[in-house]
Chains A and B, each alone.
Chain A
Amino acid sequence: MANKSESFAVSTTPPTGIISDRQIVILVSLLIGFILFFFMLFPLYSILKMSFLKNGHFSLASYYKYFRTPRIARSLHHSFYVAIISMIVTTILAFFFAYALTRTTIKGKNIFYTIIMMPLISPPIIQALALILLFGRNGLITAHLLKTDWSIYGAWGIIISEIFYCLPHALVILYTTLSAVDTRIDEAAESLGANAFQVFWKVTVPSAKYGLVSAAALVFNLTITDFGNPIVIGGNYNVLATEIYSQVIGLQKFDMGATISVILLIPSVAAFLVNYYISKKSFSLISGQARPFLRPSRMWKKIGFTGYCILISACIILIYVTVVFGSFVKVWPYDWRLSFTHYNFPSIGGYASLWTSFWIAIVVGIIGASLTLVSGYIVEKAKPKGSQLLYLLSVMPAAIPGTVMGLGYILAFNRPYYIFYGTPWIIIINVVICNYTLGMLSSITNLKQIDKSMEEAATSLGASIITTFTRVVFPLSKVAFMQTFIYYFMRSMVTISAVIFLVSATVHLAAIEIIYLDMDGRMGSANAMATVIMVIVLSFLGVVRFIGKKKFSSPQMQQSSV
């Protein structure tokens, strides 16, 4: 019996495009490589050039000047001091929190997890704002209740802010680590006669060592590069990141700014590398076979860990309540009448800045999610020659402090022929590049789950690489695409450090307005702006999740473990 339909009597091959799949891959790789080169390496190069060149000659004069000016040189010591203490405290706090969520049978784990993750959706200076309201010169607790002159401005203000700012980041790593380790080894230790403390110190902690190092390195990196909290609560206590800003924006000393940037780059890159290599190592240890079965914890353990989680959660909630409440109080802490006066933003940006921030965040989300998905596809699936270089370029941004990148953009692009300079587009590009690493890594993780033969099937059926991408790979990456989109949206809404160098007389961003309002002494309005940003991010998340539920609950999504 031959084919019934006559059309199939002869074999046909599909028509092919003008350029081949290989050429398309190479073209796209070159384009992405160029983008990363031009918008990441070129600004970095500009900073290096500025710091090492004096009148066209190599010179260490700027570095000499840095170390000979005590007020500036202090910032290095300050940065390390703050970063190391924050690193130690945050890692320990996060470890016990993660332990409670993964290794005990306490109630309310979901609530605790949600609360500790809250800082991720808010501007990264909310912690400092809350501390000032409570412990500042006019703080509710310091000035009002205790009637003391002491205030939190300075090192401890920064450290406490950083701890709460970094907690969710450290928790995610430790939570993953502790969930992945097989709890049966704990039980084996117990059966061999170890008591609870011995098990904890000799088995649990060592088994999480990679996670601990990785979390500590990440916290160190986040803290030493953070700009928002130190600028708001640091007072006279200058750190590297804020010193760059003061030198450049305050004093117009670009060479000194560049020099401090290079000095800041060293510990930041080092911490990034530690985190990167260790987390690679630790994830290779995670086996799918670890099926933790939790026995009910003892009473004292439950009470202890529940108390601990409540304490940490309460602190975080206090931060948010303070800021939101502070935005409605007429004159904190003297006139407690509620009013909306702080929501009449007096600064130049005002409500317009919120709109600008919003649409920029949407554009950043779309461009960032698309670009990282395509890059991930190139690196993970298409693998042309040199794709490893592309991978390297893609993970680099996380190592570069935002302030350094911001200054780099000024030095590189403040030329009349870069017409995008001074427009929202430079901000969009900057935010996309600064957050490239995580977008790229999550896109790779997602693409790894797509069976290679799926694409080969499409190819063998006659699909070109573009058809394969649009008809097969992209539909299967929709969920991951949405996640990256949301990540970029949130980052764009709240980011401060890099873009503070890039806002101009015509382009204002809401998160930056918080800093300006605070500098103007308008604390209430700063709180109000922070509150509005959080409301926007939360509502947006809600809307996306609502749409997502409707759209992604179709039967096709039942596939997951092919």
Chain B
Amino acid sequence: MSKELVLENLTKKFGELIAVNKVNLEVKEGEFVCFLGPSGCGKTTILRMITGFEIPTDGKIWYDGKVINDLIPQKRNFGIVFQSYALFPNMTVGENIAFGLKMRKFPKNIIESRVEEMLNLVGLTKWKDYYPAQLSGGQQQRVALVRALAPNPNVLLLDEPLSALDAKIRIRLRAEIKRLQNELGKTMIYVTHDQEEALSIADKVVVMEAGVFEQVGTPLEIYQNPKTSFVADFVGTSNFFKGVKEGSMVRVGDLLLKVASANGVNEDRLILAIRPEKIEVGKRGTLKKKYKENIFSGRLDVATFMGVVVRLMIELNGNEVITDVLYTDYEELGIKHGESLDIYLPPNGFMVFPDK
């Protein structure tokens, strides 16, 4: 029987402030769920309620068919990985990993073999007798990871585990966490404010804002079909326009746009969003031959080199539009700052939201 973690109308108030507002979620056994949102959105508060460090104001937390609201953290058997690693500096790496096993009174030989096994898992076998301060940040977080895994927790909770690390180590460790999750099949709940991290690592992403869930879905769903303009803005990059329906078209300032999914929204006032990679640019007059509608003339404001791609900021009738083009295409385009170019906004590239 699979053990599910369920949040039911979970609410947390700090005085007047509602940090978490009636959220509902089901986490299946072995699932990798990621809470994503800006700081202060309540994602860490949810994690702390699951761990037992915060008591919910209202609602229930279920695990394996039982309400665990009042269970002390020690009895939940959930492992936690902290942003600050929180390794015990007075104990060696080996002693740190053994700590949870000692608390459970495992016999010595089993503890020893388990510690070896854990060190093996993250390739730190020879660091066993060193103190945490002698390890690099990435190594310390690996130790913290297996320290939490050693007592075989039911669920592993990770609170921004990579935020204190350098960009490169962050990406490598991200892959390692994903690999461990695949290998061990452990339920993991991961909190981050880094959307790229969330999309690349999780089976299921929960986007949060101001204490509520904006959207729950697979990374692909979240990216391609954002349910709200907040999600479209927070996950990935989007260009936003405010528009009003005008017949079958949408008016944005002086521009009249054809928008494929405009009828999906009942309101007349709309927010349109389009990802930079959906937009096409070309030399003046070239795109007219390819497409029938939504071709406009813009002016190149700034081009910033970003490696493989160049990010263009284009002034389009008082709106700023961001688009990314391959560096080679940019060379071919041969356009300088202040010059005009053609810009194509494909009708089916728009995401449409009501303007409240």
Interface residue ranges, A against B (CB under 8 Å): 1-5, 7-8, 10-16, 20-21, 451, 453-454, 456-464, 467, 471-472, 475-476, 555-556, 558-559, 562
Q: A1-B183, A558-B133 are in contact. Are A461 and B90 (CB under 8 A)?
A: no
B74 x A457 contact (CB < 8 A): no
Q: A472-B90, A556-B89 are in contact. Are A14 and B103 (CB under 8 A)?
A: yes
Report A-chain residues with C-beta under 8 Å of the C-beta of B147: 457, 461
A559 x B74 contact (CB < 8 A): no
Which of B11-19, B75-83, B200-208, B245-253 interfaces with chain A? B75-83
Could you tell me the distance between the alpha carbons of A408 and B117 in the complex, rounded to whole angstroms? 63
B80 x A457 contact (CB < 8 A): yes
B151 x A12 contact (CB < 8 A): yes
What distance in Å separates the Cβ of B203 from its nearest Cβ neighbour in chain A?
19
Report B-chain residues with C-beta under 8 Å of the C-beta of A558: 131, 133-134
A457 x B152 contact (CB < 8 A): no
Could you tell me the distance between the alpha carbons of A453 and B76 in the complex, rounded to whole angstroms? 17
Interface-central residue, B99, B105, B132, by most chain A CB under 10 Å: B99
B74 x A454 contact (CB < 8 A): no
Could you tell me the distance between the alpha carbons of A52 and B108 in the complex, rounded to whole angstroms? 67
What distance in Å separates the Cβ of A190 from its nearest Cβ neighbour in chain B?
40
B113 at interface (Cβ–Cβ under 8 A)? yes
Could you tell me the distance between the alpha carbons of A414 and B75 in the complex, rounded to whole angstroms? 50
Closest 4 CB pairs of A and B: A461-B100, A462-B103, A559-B89, A475-B90
A12 x B77 contact (CB < 8 A): yes
Report A-chain residues with C-beta under 8 Å of the C-beta of B90: 472, 475-476, 556
A13 x B74 contact (CB < 8 A): yes
A5 x B72 contact (CB < 8 A): no
Could you tell me the distance between the alpha carbons of A459 and B51 in the complex, rounded to whole angstroms? 10
Report B-chain residues with C-beta under 8 Å of the C-beta of A12: 77, 104, 151-152
What distance in Å separates the Cβ of A421 from its nearest Cβ neighbour in chain B?
42
Complex partner residue of B131 from A7, A458, A463, A556, CB under 8 angstroms: A556
Report B-chain residues with C-beta under 8 Å of the C-beta of A562: 84-85, 89
Complex partner residue of B74 from A4, A5, A16, CB under 8 angstroms: A16
Report A-chain residues with C-beta under 8 Å of the C-beta of B281: none
Q: Interface 1/0s, chain B 6-34, versus A by CB < 8 A?
A: 00000000000000000000000000000
A15 x B134 contact (CB < 8 A): no
B183 x A7 contact (CB < 8 A): no
Report A-chain residues with C-beta under 8 Å of the C-beta of B104: 12-15, 462
A463 x B99 contact (CB < 8 A): yes
B154 at interface (Cβ–Cβ under 8 A)? yes
> Which residues 27-62 of B have a CB within 8 angstroms of A?
51, 53
Q: List 19 A-B contacts (CB under 8 A).
A: A1-B184, A5-B114, A8-B152, A11-B151, A12-B77, A16-B74, A16-B75, A21-B72, A456-B73, A456-B80, A456-B82, A457-B80, A460-B79, A463-B103, A475-B90, A555-B131, A555-B134, A556-B131, A559-B131
Report B-chain residues with C-beta under 8 Å of the C-beta of A21: 72
Report B-chain residues with C-beta under 8 Å of the C-beta of A475: 88, 90
Complex partner residue of A461 from B72, B84, B103, B184, CB under 8 angstroms: B103
B80 x A7 contact (CB < 8 A): no
What distance in Å separates the Cβ of B3 from its nearest Cβ neighbour in chain A?
9
B86 at interface (Cβ–Cβ under 8 A)? yes
B198 at interface (Cβ–Cβ under 8 A)? no
What distance in Å separates the Cβ of B92 from its nearest Cβ neighbour in chain A?
8
Complex partner residue of A7 from B72, B83, B110, B185, CB under 8 angstroms: B110
Report B-chain residues with C-beta under 8 Å of the C-beta of A464: 74
Report B-chain residues with C-beta under 8 Å of the C-beta of A16: 72, 74-75
In this complex, what residue of A is CB-closest to B120? A4
B349 at interface (Cβ–Cβ under 8 A)? no
Could you tell me the distance between the alpha carbons of A185 and B318 in the complex, rounded to whole angstroms? 44
Could you tell me the distance between the alpha carbons of A2 and B104 in the complex, rounded to whole angstroms? 21
What distance in Å separates the Cβ of B349 from its nearest Cβ neighbour in chain A?
43
Report A-chain residues with C-beta under 8 Å of the C-beta of B153: 11
A456 x B53 contact (CB < 8 A): yes
B148 at interface (Cβ–Cβ under 8 A)? yes
B86 x A462 contact (CB < 8 A): no
Could you tell me the distance between the alpha carbons of A1 and B120 in the complex, rounded to whole angstroms? 14
B106 at interface (Cβ–Cβ under 8 A)? yes
Report A-chain residues with C-beta under 8 Å of the C-beta of B113: 5
Could you tell me the distance between the alpha carbons of A463 and B99 in the complex, rounded to whole angstroms? 9
Known: A463-B99, A559-B131. 20 other contacts (CB 8 A): A7-B114, A8-B114, A8-B151, A11-B152, A12-B77, A13-B75, A14-B105, A15-B105, A20-B72, A454-B88, A456-B53, A459-B53, A460-B51, A460-B148, A462-B77, A467-B103, A472-B90, A475-B88, A476-B89, A556-B91
Complex partner residue of B154 from A11, A459, A461, CB under 8 angstroms: A11
A462 x B84 contact (CB < 8 A): no
What distance in Å separates the Cβ of A93 from its nearest Cβ neighbour in chain B?
42
Could you tell me the distance between the alpha carbons of A4 and B152 in the complex, rounded to whole angstroms? 11
What distance in Å separates the Cβ of B144 from its nearest Cβ neighbour in chain A?
8
Could you tell me the distance between the alpha carbons of A228 and B315 in the complex, rounded to whole angstroms? 82
Report A-chain residues with C-beta under 8 Å of the C-beta of B154: 11
Report A-chain residues with C-beta under 8 Å of the C-beta of B84: 451, 453, 562
What distance in Å separates the Cβ of B140 from its nearest Cβ neighbour in chain A?
10
Could you tell me the distance between the alpha carbons of A8 and B138 in the complex, rounded to whole angstroms? 26
A453 x B82 contact (CB < 8 A): yes
> Which residues 196-232 of B have a CB within 8 angstroms of A?
none
B133 x A462 contact (CB < 8 A): no
Could you tell me the distance between the alpha carbons of A486 and B152 in the complex, rounded to whole angstroms? 44
What distance in Å separates the Cβ of A551 from its nearest Cβ neighbour in chain B?
12
What distance in Å separates the Cβ of A226 from its nearest Cβ neighbour in chain B?
41
Q: A13-B104, A14-B104, A559-B132 are in contact. Are A458 and B89 (CB under 8 A)?
A: no
B114 x A458 contact (CB < 8 A): no
Report B-chain residues with C-beta under 8 Å of the C-beta of A559: 89, 131-133
Could you tell me the distance between the alpha carbons of A561 and B179 in the complex, rounded to whole angstroms? 31
What distance in Å separates the Cβ of A448 from its nearest Cβ neighbour in chain B?
15
B117 x A4 contact (CB < 8 A): yes
Report A-chain residues with C-beta under 8 Å of the C-beta of B131: 555-556, 558-559
Report A-chain residues with C-beta under 8 Å of the C-beta of B53: 456, 459
Complex partner residue of B133 from A13, A20, A555, CB under 8 angstroms: A555
Report A-chain residues with C-beta under 8 Å of the C-beta of B73: 456, 459-460
What distance in Å separates the Cβ of B113 from its nearest Cβ neighbour in chain A?
6
In this complex, what residue of A is CB-closest to B159? A453
What distance in Å separates the Cβ of A179 from its nearest Cβ neighbour in chain B?
27
Complex partner residue of A460 from B78, B134, B152, B184, CB under 8 angstroms: B78
In this complex, what residue of A is CB-closest to B80? A460
What distance in Å separates the Cβ of B206 from its nearest Cβ neighbour in chain A?
22
What distance in Å separates the Cβ of A474 from its nearest Cβ neighbour in chain B?
9
A458 x B72 contact (CB < 8 A): no
Interface-central residue, A2, A8, A15, by most chain B CB under 10 Å: A8
Could you tell me the distance between the alpha carbons of A529 and B225 in the complex, rounded to whole angstroms? 86
Report A-chain residues with C-beta under 8 Å of the C-beta of B86: 451, 453-454, 456-457
What distance in Å separates the Cβ of B237 from its nearest Cβ neighbour in chain A?
33
Could you tell me the distance between the alpha carbons of A562 and B82 in the complex, rounded to whole angstroms? 13
Could you tell me the distance between the alpha carbons of A61 and B198 in the complex, rounded to whole angstroms? 78
What distance in Å separates the Cβ of B63 from its nearest Cβ neighbour in chain A?
11
Q: A454-B88, A460-B79, A472-B90 are in contact. Are A3 and B134 (CB under 8 A)?
A: no
Report B-chain residues with C-beta under 8 Å of the C-beta of A454: 86, 88
What distance in Å separates the Cβ of A41 from its nearest Cβ neighbour in chain B?
32
What distance in Å separates the Cβ of A5 from its nearest Cβ neighbour in chain B?
6
B110 x A5 contact (CB < 8 A): yes
A11 x B74 contact (CB < 8 A): no
Report A-chain residues with C-beta under 8 Å of the C-beta of B130: 555
In this complex, what residue of B is CB-closest to A9? B152
